[in-house]
Amino acid sequence: MGFRIAFASIDGTRVDQHFASARYWQIYDIDSQAHFVETRKPLYLHQGHCEGGFGPLLTLLSDCHAIFVTRIGQAAAIALMRSGKRVFEASGQINDILDQLIRGNLLKDNNR
């Protein structure tokens, strides 16, 4: 079974968005290769700090196993981890991150 990964990316090529204010999410399935699935757009964006109120984003990313963002607040990270997601702060090209995940088998989890 592969993994579904969400990247906060406005241009579709690099991780460049904060979790709560991400305008676009690039969704990929990975196993031995990466497969682009779709671009998702939240119905509304959070402005500034928001403690809680992450329900719509959790729903939008409910089928994803891992989330990559440039930054994420503690409350949001906890909400995602409690829902079984892995959370990574990262920057760089999505293809480079995907290559590292696949080559290093970095998302392998015997508990899944």
CA distance 45 to 51: 14
Q: Evaluate whether residue 80 is within a structural domain.
A: yes
Q: What does each C-alpha distance from 3 to 9, 23, 105 come to in angstroms?
A: 18, 22, 11
Q: Evaluate whether residue 100 is within a structural domain.
A: yes
Q: Evaluate whether residue 74 is within a structural domain.
A: yes
- And the tokens for 104? 């290093």
The DSSP bridge pattern shows strands 34-40 and 86-89 to be unpaired
Q: Which domain holds residue 81?
A: 3-42+51-104
How many domains does one find in the chain? 1
- Residue 30: CATH number of its domain: 3.30.420.130
- Residue 2 has what pLDDT? 86
Q: pLDDT (tens digit, 0 to 9) for every residue of the chain, 112 residues total?
A: 589 999 999 999 999 999 988 999 999 999 889 999 999 998 865 554 444 567 888 899 999 999 999 999 998 999 899 999 999 999 999 999 999 998 886 666 544 4
Q: Quick count: other Cβ atoms within 10 Å of Cβ 47?
A: 8
Q: Evaluate whether residue 110 is within a structural domain.
A: no
Residue with tokens 């998702």: 40
Q: Evaluate whether residue 31 is within a structural domain.
A: yes
pTM attached to this predicted model: 0.87
